[in-house]
Amino acid sequence: MGIRSILSKPLAAYVVARQKKWMARSAEVQAGWRKTLVEKATDTAFGKDHYFKDIRSYDDFKQAVAVRDYEDIKDYVNLILDGREDVLWPGKPLYFAKTSGTTSGTKYIPISKDSIHNHINSAKNALLNYIHETGKSQFLDHKLIFLSGSPELKEKNGIHIGRLSGISTHHVPAYLQSNRMPSFETNCIEDWEEKLEKIIDETINQPMSLISGIPPWVQMYFDRIQARTGKKIKDVFPNFELFVYGGVNFEPYRAKLYESIGKKIDSVELFPASEGFFAYQDKQGDPGMLLLLDTGIFYEFIPIDEYFNEKPTRLSIEQVELGKNYALVINNNAGLWGYSIGDTVKFVSLDPYKVIVSGRIKHFISAFGEHVIGEEVEKAMKFACERHPEVELIEFTVAPMVSPAEGLPYHEWLIEFATPPKNTAQFAEDLDKRMTELNVYYDDLITGSILQRLVITPLKRDAFITYMRSQGKLGGQNKVPRLSNDRKIADVLGKMV
């Protein structure tokens, strides 16, 4: 064992011990962060505009701070971009994480000197939790790869601007810098396909032990390696033992990814975003991710069926219930206030508080009042794939067909298979059966002959890669929406049958 793997174990024990302390006082810790955040931001422009000096309780806070999205903080962000200090948080942000918005164009999410620790320490602690639970630490002595965006940053009025994954690259601990890959120069390549080939050039003969990234782009990395070598990933990287991922539900990709690897390996799921690092999987075999309640974020939760109400119910951590879908709202020490991040979560444990990501607020289908969410289509796909073990799935998305050429409207499932089902009609029937079990509104529409049963449109190989390339969103942290309430994506993919 090397020095990294040896020293990681006492550090892991220390981190887990500290974690258990705040886990035992979750509600108290969260109330403390709400108070601290408000006090620190009282003299900011936002704090003055929203009378932070008069806030004494959570009810006061909800009265003063409305739930908002990026459009509602854009004017404050523009003030910061113009050089103003003390706008959303004291001083200036260290960074703006640049990300794409569906309605807002480019978004600039502030990361402060205080909040950067949430991003960096949470990623580190996820690995330390894994080490503490499993006793496995030797992966730290070999090569590690993080498939991420470019680390190149621009500067405006003393603030560095770049992609979150690129910003994080500048804060990788020194003890890991010597064995992390790819090289800085390769990471700076903007074109994903050119970058991927260079990454393979650099890594293919290295003792890779940890690979991290969004599953579809990791799969693309594996596919290109297999095309070059004709070998399973386990034979190219015999030291590969840990896959770290986030950003999308792993289940639709799991079978194909493990088939490419050639064996099952451990994995750790993360829940990071430009707005904060919210949760990580702290136990192998446990689908829930531990919600990080002591890292500078005060969380709020809105029952998803109330989200679009004028005054939705807002709950603090001690008020949530198991098994319900909530829109996740954050307040943090970078100056995001009542900020809806767009993700929905479901609690699978209340002691400790653990969540799964159940979907996106804007990624749903309700063209006919069915309220179908991402979690439901992913569960249905998992069910169908288990019934048809020959199937290897690459990617899929679902959209409504409101006005078909003939017959009733339906949900169209556009699916790219690596290996298609032997009986596509039965596969579709199994998908539809599970959807009617998961969503009572969908079942009512099928039973009432408002909708016909779902229709599968098999797509040609690399259809989703071609689509993402056409949108300028190939690689990095970009993801294909699992659901759309319109046909913008479906109509493009429909030409790739």
The alpha-carbon radius of gyration of the chain (Å, integer) is 23
pLDDT tens by residue, 418-455? 999 999 999 999 999 999 999 988 998 998 888 999 99
Distance CA 120, CA 169 (A): 9
Which pLDDT score, from 0 to 100, does residue 252 have?
Answer: 76
Which pLDDT score, from 0 to 100, does residue 102 have?
Answer: 46
Read off the amino acid at residue 268. V
Distance CA 54, CA 332 (A): 19
Residue 57 φ/ψ, nearest 5 degrees:
-140, 175
Half-sphere exposure for 88 (CA within 13 Å, toward CB): 33
Q: How far is CA 427 from CA 84, 445, 455, in A?
A: 57, 20, 10
Bridge partners (DSSP) listed for residue 267: 243
Distance CA 295, CA 117 (A): 8
Which pLDDT score, from 0 to 100, does residue 476 have?
Answer: 64
Among 344, 300, 313, which Cα is nearest to 326's? 344
* One-letter-per-residue 3-state SS of the chain: CCHHHHHHHHHHHHHHHHHHHHHCCHHHHHHHHHHHHHHHCCCCHHHHHCCHHHCCCHHHHHHHCCCECHHHHHHHHHHHHCCCCCCCCCCCCCEEEEEEECCCEEEEEEECCCCHHHHHHHHHHHHHHHHHHHCCCHHHHCEEEECCCCCCCEEECCEEEECHHHHHHCCCCHHHHCCEECCHHHHCCCCHHHHHHHHHHHHCCCCEEEEECCHHHHHHHHHHHHHHHCCCHHHHCCCCCEEEEECCCCHHHHHHHHHHHCCCCEEEEEEEECCEEEEECCCCCCCCEEECCCCCEEEEEEEHHHCCCCCCCCECHHHCCECCEEEEEEEECCCCCCEEEEEEEEEEEECCEEEEEEEECCEEECCCCCCEEHHHHHHHHHHHHHHCCCCEEEEEEEEEECCCCCCCCEEEEEEEEEECCCCHHHHHHHHHHHHHHHCHHHHHHHHCCCCCCCEEEECCCCHHHHHHHHCCCCCCCCCCCCECCCCHHHHHHHHHC
Sign of CA pseudo-dihedral 488, 490, 491, 492:
positive
Distance CA 5, CA 430 (A): 46
Q: What angle do CA 115, 210, 203 make, to 5 degrees?
A: 110
Judge whether 268 and 90 are in contact, CB under 8 Å.
no
Distance CA 345, CA 178 (A): 37
Distance CA 447, CA 354 (A): 36
Q: What angle do CA 18, 21, 27 make, to 5 degrees?
A: 130
Which pLDDT score, from 0 to 100, does residue 24 have?
Answer: 97
pTM confidence score: 0.83
Which pLDDT score, from 0 to 100, does residue 431 have?
Answer: 97
Q: Which stretches of the chain drop beneath a pLDDT of 70? A: 100-105, 175, 476-477
